[in-house]
Amino acid sequence: MWKFSFSLVLGFFLGFLALGVLAQNQPKPPKIKKQKTQKIKIPFYFDGIRVGTDVSKLIFMGLNGDKTRYDLNTDLSLSNRVHFNMRLGYSNMRSVIQRSSDSVAYNAQYINKGTYASLGLEYNFLRRVMNENGVFGGLHIGHARFQHDLAHAIRNSFWSGPNDVNIKKFADKGMSCTWLEVTAALKGKLWRSFYGGYHIRLQYLMDWQDGTKVRSNDLPGFGSTQNRTNLIMTYQLWYRLPMGKKF
């Protein structure tokens, strides 16, 4: 019995030894080199200049005749990767308040007008998959200069005659404001050289030099003064000028 066990263990040992020798003599498989993925390089070139306007302002101006706002903007494209933006505008807003009772009549008119400009940079996050369209994110800074006038008339027939009117006028000039914009935009080609796009602008009022006689309720290019932060959405329409050169 002991001899049989010893022979069995010896047989297993010799078998493992033979397998080890055979494994060492077998050739090793060749190593497979990993191929490096090459990134597609986008050529850097001047893609052209687009000139356009804010269509949404024109629509609201048609619905409300007391607000006149014109907006001219240019869009300089580099490889449809980076867009440099410049926006110029004019604003003229008129508000009229009329209140009356049996003995008192109150009329007031407020006029706010001025000009504004903004400069910014936008980056196309889908530049590798879209040649002329894209989804953009950007940063802009804007500045405006404006003036306003307030005139109101009060007629009190209880204390004075029906034709006695108390008129007062106030005016402030040389006012200004500066704001910062974080933008998100969707731009695309519509037809031939015409482009359109939606803009979402998150504006933050950084500086505001208001008048000393009347508080402004509207800032050209920025909007209402009730909050220092505004969120607006606009629709732009551009025409691409026939120019552009690779370099």
Q: Assign residue 61 a region: left if phi > 0, alpha if psi is -120 to 50, beta otherwise? A: alpha
In a domain, 58, yes or no: yes
Domain, as residue range, for 184: 42-92+115-145+175-246
- The answer to whether residue 120 sits within a structural domain is yes
Identify the CATH number of the domain in which residue 219 sits: 2.40.160
pTM value is 0.75
Extract the residue ranges of the chain whose pLDDT is less than 70: 1-44, 62, 65, 100-104, 106, 155-165, 244-247
Whether residue 187 lies inside any domain: the answer is: yes
67 within domain boundaries: yes
Which phi and psi angles does 50 have, rounded to 5°?
A: -110, 135
Residue 228 counted as domain residue: yes
On whether the CB atoms of residues 165 and 154 are closer than 8 A, the answer is yes
Within-domain flag for 225: yes
- Closest by CA to 58, choosing from 68, 73, 48, is 68
Whole-angstrom distance, CA of residue 102 vs CA of residue 116: 44
How many structural domains are present in the chain? Answer: 1
Domain assignment present for 125: yes
List helix spans (H) across the chain. Answer: 2-25, 55-63
64 found inside a domain: yes
Q: What are 176-221's pLDDT values in tens digits? A: 999 999 999 999 899 888 999 999 999 999 999 988 888 888 899 9
